[in-house]
């Protein structure tokens, strides 16, 4: 069992990490960190547990420590981070320097040249950017990122289509409120309403997708050449990001060909990877957030509504934003790091 | 005062028509029609009134008649139709042949060559297609249509941009449940959910927008040459369709130029036209359905979120789908028909 | 394995029954019935499957038959019924007469003197009313009912309090839309809204609760003497009925005593009974539908918010209305029938 | 025109006060106060305007001042307060001492013996408690309160029933999220959910209703003797509090008698009082929040669902919680203070 820690364990993604890591057969929760206000309290006391399953008994009495290299035991090998991005930017490099391997969901440093941004089923080879990172920064530990929740929903479907030569992607998202954290969207803002912009989200999708689908030649990552334009909307759903995608391709593509490529797209041989990564539907009214977000224990991506367009195809995709799109993505990256010998 | 009738008066759009026409200074409600099951009953009895203002007293005791030329008084000059499209297809031509002028919201016949499809602020000259219609069909009356609610939200904003030469439009919609009628979307389908397809809606947006922005040379309408691709989603809002638009233009366009063109786009000199047709926001989080759907008494269109793209711009737009997008659109077309001497 | 059938298998409760019975270790799904329009089609074709887990493969190809004694195989021993009550009233007695044992969720016949209305953890001895039923009606089979979903939420908590002598109960419900079936509540009716009445529901709660807590002396059931007044509201939640209860008791009762009695109230030794039937919370903001409806796989009842009143106590309770309140209740009654030798 | 000020003008109730007071024919907005962080900024800049109508032009450029007697002009005669209760407790007495007349919606001091708690249609004579207040406190100004939004919904209906002798009231509320202020309820807390407790709300309903229906003999208010037990729930609606009431009376009462008494209950002769205060429905499914909250411009109270109980009757009532229940209640009290010569 690998001893692990969770950074930012009291927040919404932190609670999801605990739901996923507590029963995990390879990982053993050894330490939980949070802000100074929570340090010294038991986890049950510090976290206002709001998940839809009871708090696991094994974590209730763990004493929360500060998110600080000094406070984390030396025998912890792997850290999962769901820190606010400004806190992540301040503390993650220090932890990596101090020798910890960090699988992070925080948005800081995702586009740094020597920081791998990884979806294990899509670009597992990018994990080797860590060699460049260690060389350049002189770190004993490592820092690896998973992408933003809206990016992670779309990119596996694009990966399945890239054999036709992706040239341009237009994407409109319908995102659940949990993506903004527990208090990120007030009820007055969203009941009987929608918000047509999510600060920073459009830019994240436009940049991160090109890095994820880019080539790594052993020395550096070349961004994919496709043009990506995103429009991000918040809607009144709890979990599950639904996205409308238009993909223009160099070679002619058919809806049937696209669906077949997705159905056959391989999953990864990691514990948390679903048996089938991409599920496609014939019914154009699917996928839907409430009905389909839990496919593959929340780790699958669903797609449907394939239609011809003048320059390619359009379709819809969906994933569970706090599992596949956040906590589960970090756990999966932890499994990859372990598998590849970085932990 | 023009004596008017409402066809399909008990449905959701029919109730909106009554809310708009009952206090109207030029129109006098003389007859209300509905299905055979409602005929012979008072309106208050036949309609399950579900609007958010009380049923107007002047209509409660009107006896509902069948939607049949025989049942409608001869001294009624103008009919507003919100019939189901199959009923509309069967009965509207017979009414026009019998001499009635029909301003219809029903989706049948919208793309017929000799049926004008009109938004008075956008293509008022298309009303003159009625001359062709009368010539060809030998009708004493007339049949004029307003477009679909999702089309009507986008087209005024596109009209303001066509000076740059529209080449391609991609649009993703977030549509309110009222667009499907009172019983069109069940609560189990939509609470904590979204549906990424609305049967027939994508095709309507793709076709109707090209007719509305087409040229009428006195003899026929040439469809606009732009390519339109739509993806239509239902979300858990009551009223107000929000849309993400990408518009590729022949000439270079800037977000500022686009917003200014919209702000300056003229309204029409009709009673129900808002003083300002298009409202633009600097705040990228606006427009929002609940906050902005009632601008201009529900007859304005709002836009915001203007951003550069590689081939044009992207932006968001919104209108009230059962006022500007349905009942109000029909009323406005009735005012245009009166103004232009067709009634 | 007992061969079982599901009557009304395509509806919302029917789909829940399939979710619960397909993996059941004692029951084997042998036949599925539905309306004549569905008969002859495969289940996958006849049912529009809308559950949030995929349709089980073992049922997709079962040919649906009519809900008719002739159409149901003789070697089926136990039928689970989620028929509309008018259909249930017509066909359930015929099935019981033909020798089938029927565990029914339908509301017909629940108050009949010789029909047991049973919650296995509360009044398992009432199952023996079946002896009276067989005597009087000359049936080889049997008909047993579970109560209404709102009744079933409250009654286990009342059962725990009856040692103090229940005299009067006032209950206000906040009920989820799934309780009305898939199409029972339209989205226009309930988004940003609540409906302060559910036809027939108040009367069901007032009557059924007195039968469930009544005494069976081997010959007949005496209704409990308490006075029950209910007010039933529909609110915009998917699953989970929340109820505010005021219970007046003969003997003085304290909030602590009430909570303790509930915590210690025994569950039943049946497969689908939860280890702990009643969960109480100290946090007055719990239980909440989305957070707590899945306790005990949806078969537990939660309670909280205990407060003194002048004549007793008030508190809140919650259960999953389509599991504990409907399909799961029928399955549990089937297990009791098997355990007690009626199947 | 009376020059008025709004204390706490940037909050949710403050914005409602501006919507109601800006077009008011007797009041002229002279000053707007907010927290120190907002002081010195224009109102448009300090308030994040989120109402569903545009910000009135006449207030956009008003410079916001601190909520401090020093900062408020002397020629302002009447202040409307929607301060947080702790701020209200600190500053309202100082303002009254400094000579200002304050009509306050804040919850502090509502139960103080010498502070009138008033609904003008119910207990207008209580305004004269201000004489006691001035005597005892030596103030030149005055402090008057309106009750809590959930109390104000129920009390006018109880006032109409008190001729039968109210003995005990049980009330269960279904409250809209706007009652908690703009950020009071997060979307994660309430979508597909309900919360069975609102801190302090139950106690407010239980106390305030007895003061409002109490007798004022010129010297002191005697609380009404009825027993009140409340259970307060938050549900996913934007505006409008719906309540289930059970009222036990000394004399026998019928549903018809109760409804008739409510229909005939007089309104007040004040500008913002609706022509008819109480609207009753025969349809037991009404009133509903979205359909009925705007009756009488949001100042009416609706009731329905009357049923016999063993000791009295049960019924439902509804009002718009931020108009009749908050901002409109304060404005109405301001009109009463003006009418009665206190301003």
Domains of chain A, with CATH numbers? 2-148+326-339 (3.40.50.720), 149-320 (3.30.360.10)
Active-site residue, from C126, C149, C232, C317:
C149
* Contact (Cβ atoms closer than 8 angstroms) between residue B231 and residue B172: yes
- Each residue's pLDDT tens digit, C144-203: 999 999 999 999 999 999 999 999 999 999 999 999 999 999 999 999 999 999 999 999
Mean pLDDT on D210-215: 98
Residue B52 has pLDDT above 90, yes or no: no
Interchain contact D276–B (C-beta under 8 A):
no
What's the rounded Cα separation, in Å, for the pair D190 and B213? 44
H helix runs in chain D, sequence order: 12-21, 43-46, 57-60, 85-97, 129-137, 149-161, 187-190, 201-212, 255-264, 289-292, 328-339
B6 membership: H or E segment, kind and range: strand B2-7
Q: Which of C184, C188, C238 is the closest to B191 by Cβ?
A: C238
> What does the mean pLDDT of chain B come to?
97
Active-site residue, from A126, A224, A232, A241:
A241
Interchain contact A238–C (C-beta under 8 A):
yes
Q: Which of D53, D191, D290 is the closest to B52 by Cβ?
A: D290
Residue D137 has pLDDT above 90, yes or no: yes
What's the rounded Cα separation, in Å, for the pair A212 and A301? 16
- Each residue's pLDDT tens digit, A282-314: 999 999 999 999 999 999 999 999 999 999 999
Query: In chain D, whose CA is at the least distance from the CA of C318?
Result: D196
Interchain contact C177–B (C-beta under 8 A):
yes
Q: What is the pLDDT of residue B270?
A: 98
Q: What is the pLDDT of residue B27?
A: 97
Residue A185 has pLDDT above 90, yes or no: yes
* Contact (Cβ atoms closer than 8 angstroms) between residue B297 and residue B274: yes
Whether the upstream peptide bond of residue D287 has omega within 30° of 0, thus cis, is: yes
What's the rounded Cα separation, in Å, for the pair B243 and B205? 12
Of D53, D11, D51, the closest CA to residue D180 belongs to D11
Mean pLDDT on D123-151: 98
Active site residues of B: 149, 241
Q: What is the pLDDT of residue B51?
A: 87
Q: What is the pLDDT of residue D166?
A: 98
* Contact (Cβ atoms closer than 8 angstroms) between residue D196 and residue D203: no
Active-site residue, from C241, C279, C302, C317:
C241
Quote the tokens at residue C273: 């009974």
Q: What is the pLDDT of residue D64?
A: 97
C52/A290 touch (CB, cutoff 8 Å), yes or no: yes
Q: Write out the E strands in B250-341.
A: 278-280, 301-308, 312-319
Quote the tokens at residue D259: 């409804």
> What does the mean pLDDT of chain C come to?
97
If pLDDT is split at 50, 70 and 90, which confidence band does B243 have?
A: very high
What's the rounded Cα separation, in Å, for the pair D273 and D260? 20
Interchain contact C291–A (C-beta under 8 A):
yes
Query: In chain D, whose CA is at the least distance from the CA of B279?
Result: D54
Q: Which of D172, D194, D310 is the closest to C289 by Cβ?
A: D194
C185/B188 touch (CB, cutoff 8 Å), yes or no: yes
- Count chain C–chain D contacts defined by CB atoms under 8 A: 113
**Distance between start and end Cα atoms, chain C:** 11
Q: What is the pLDDT of residue C164?
A: 98
If pLDDT is split at 50, 70 and 90, which confidence band does A78 have?
A: very high
Quote the tokens at residue A12: 């919404």
Interchain contact D75–A (C-beta under 8 A):
no
Quote the tokens at residue C309: 């009143």
Q: What is the pLDDT of residue A51?
A: 87
Mean pLDDT on B71-100: 96
If pLDDT is split at 50, 70 and 90, which confidence band does D52 have?
A: confident
- Each residue's pLDDT tens digit, C37-92: 999 999 999 998 988 889 999 999 999 999 999 999 999 999 999 999 999 999 99
**Which of A50, A184, A188, A293 is the best mutation test for D, with the most CBs of D within 10 A?**
A188
- Each residue's pLDDT tens digit, A55-73: 999 999 999 999 999 999 9
Residue C341 has pLDDT above 90, yes or no: yes
Q: What is the pLDDT of residue A52?
A: 85
- Each residue's pLDDT tens digit, D84-104: 999 999 999 999 999 999 999
B21 exposed, middle or buried (CB, 10 Å; 0-12, 13-18, 19+)? buried
Which residues from C are below 8 Å from D309, CB to CB? 229
Of B257, B320, B259, the closest CA to residue B288 belongs to B320
C186/B188 touch (CB, cutoff 8 Å), yes or no: no
Quote the tokens at residue B156: 């005024």
**Which of D52, D236, D297 is the best mutation test for B, with the most CBs of B within 10 A?**
D52
What is the DSSP code (8-state) at residue D196? S
Catalytic residue check, C149? yes
Mean pLDDT on D241-263: 98
C202 membership: H or E segment, kind and range: helix C201-212
Mean pLDDT on C19-48: 96
Estimate to the nearest angstrom the gap between the alpha carbon of D191 and the chain centroid.
Answer: 26
Share of residues in chain A with pLDDT > 70 (%): 100
* Contact (Cβ atoms closer than 8 angstroms) between residue A175 and residue A154: no
Mean pLDDT on B220-238: 98
What's the rounded Cα separation, in Å, for the pair B272 and B298? 10
* Secondary structure (3-state) at D162: helix
* Contact (Cβ atoms closer than 8 angstroms) between residue C245 and residue C166: no
**Which of D193, D202, D230 is the best mutation test for C, with the most CBs of C within 10 A?**
D193
- Each residue's pLDDT tens digit, C219-261: 999 999 999 999 999 999 999 999 999 999 999 999 999 999 9
Which residues from B are below 8 Å from C175, CB to CB? none
Of B335, B294, B343, the closest CA to residue B318 belongs to B294
> Interior CA angle at B16 toward B10 and B20, to 5°?
125
Write out chain B in H/E/C secondary structure: CEEEEEECCCCHHHHHHHHHHCCCCCEEEEEEEECCCCCCCEHHHHCCCCCCCCCCHHHHCCECEECCHHHCCCCCCEEEECCCHHHHHHHHHHHHHCCCEEEECCCCCCCCCCCCECCCCCCHHHHHHHHHHHHHHCCCCEEEECCCHHHHHHHHHHHHHHHHCEEEEEEEEEECHHHHCCCCCEHHHHCCCCECCCCCHHHHHHHHHHHHCCEECCCCEECCCCEEEEEEEECCCCCCEEEEEEEEECCCCCHHHHHHHHHHCCCCCCCCCCCCCEEECCCCCCCCHHHHCCHHHHCCEEEEEEEECCCEEEEEEEECCCHHHHHHHHHHHHHHHHHCCCC
Find where tokens 């109490």 sit: D214
B57 CB neighbour count, 10 Å cutoff: 9
Q: What is the pLDDT of residue C52?
A: 85
Interchain contact B194–C (C-beta under 8 A):
no
Q: What is the pLDDT of residue C88?
A: 97
Quote the tokens at residue C214: 């009544």
């Amino acid at each position: 069992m690998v001893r692990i820690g969770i950074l930012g364990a009291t927040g919404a993604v932190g609670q999801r990490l605990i739901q996923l890591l507590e029963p995990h057969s390879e990982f053993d929760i050894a330490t939980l960190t949070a802000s100074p206000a929570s340090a010294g309290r038991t986890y049950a006391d510090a976290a206002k547990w709001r998940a839809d399953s009871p708090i696991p008994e094994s974590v209730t009495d763990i004493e929360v420590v500060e998110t600080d290299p000094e406070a984390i035991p030396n025998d912890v090998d792997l850290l999962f981070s769901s820190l606010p991005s400004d806190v992540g930017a301040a503390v993650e490099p220090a932890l990596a320097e101090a020798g910890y391997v960090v699988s992070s969901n925080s948005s800081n440093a995702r586009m740094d040249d020597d920081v791998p941004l990884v979806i294990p089923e899509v670009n597992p080879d990018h994990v080797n950017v860590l060699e460049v990172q260690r060389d350049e920064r002189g770190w004993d530990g490592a820092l690896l990122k998973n992408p933003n929740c809206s990016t992670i929903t779309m990119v596996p479907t694009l990966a399945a289509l890239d054999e036709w030569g992706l040239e341009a992607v237009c994407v409109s998202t319908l995102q659940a409120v949990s993506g903004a954290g527990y208090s990120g969207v007030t009820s007055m803002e969203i009941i009987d309403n929608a918000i047509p912009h999510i600060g920073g989200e459009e830019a994240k999708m436009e940049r991160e997708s090109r890095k994820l689908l880019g080539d790594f030649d052993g020395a550096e990552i070349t961004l994919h050449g496709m043009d990506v334009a995103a429009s991000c909307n918040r809607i009144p759903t709890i979990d599950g990001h639904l996205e409308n995608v238009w993909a223009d391709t160099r070679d002619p593509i058919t809806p049937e060909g696209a669906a077949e490529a997705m159905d056959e797209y391989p999953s990864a041989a990691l514990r948390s990877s679903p048996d089938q990564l991409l599920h496609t539907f014939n019914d154009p009214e699917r996928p839907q957030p409430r009905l389909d977000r839990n496919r593959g224990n929340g780790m699958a991506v669903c797609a449907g509504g394939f239609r011809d367009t003048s320059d390619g195809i359009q379709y819809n995709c969906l994933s569970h934003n706090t599992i596949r799109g956040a906590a589960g993505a970090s756990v999966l990256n932890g499994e990859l790091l372990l598998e590849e010998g970085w932990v």
